[in-house]
Amino acid sequence: MPRYYTIASSSKVMPEQIRIAISLTHDQTLGKYGQASKFLKEAAKGTQCNIFVKDSMFELPNKTDTDMIMIGPGTGIVPFIGFIEEM
């Protein structure tokens, strides 16, 4: 099953790259990483992996002075990194 992560970069600023923000889970008692954390830790070392990107339907307003109320249930601050970068 694909695992989706929230993009933390703007496609206008970085059209050929994406950044994600993650938190690696490590159980110090057992000395083990969580399944997804272990996969991403290995990928960071240069291990080849398949990444699938899902298009977003979200668009920022054309006028930069337009007020916005943003709610990100379950995503936290990560999407705001890309929004601020784009604005």
Its sign, for the CA torsion 14, 79, 6, 48, is: positive
pLDDT at 75: 63
The vertex-29 CA angle with 74 and 49, nearest 5°, equals: 55
CA dihedral 20, 52, 3, 70 (to 10 degrees): 50
User: pLDDT digits over 44-68, tens only?
Assistant: 777 676 777 777 777 777 887 888 7
User: pLDDT digits over 30-41, tens only?
Assistant: 777 777 777 777
Residue 13 pLDDT more than 80? yes
- Distance separating alpha carbons of residues 52 and 49, to the nearest angstrom: 10
Its sign, for the CA torsion 43, 48, 50, 51, is: positive
> What is the pTM (predicted TM-score) of this model?
0.54
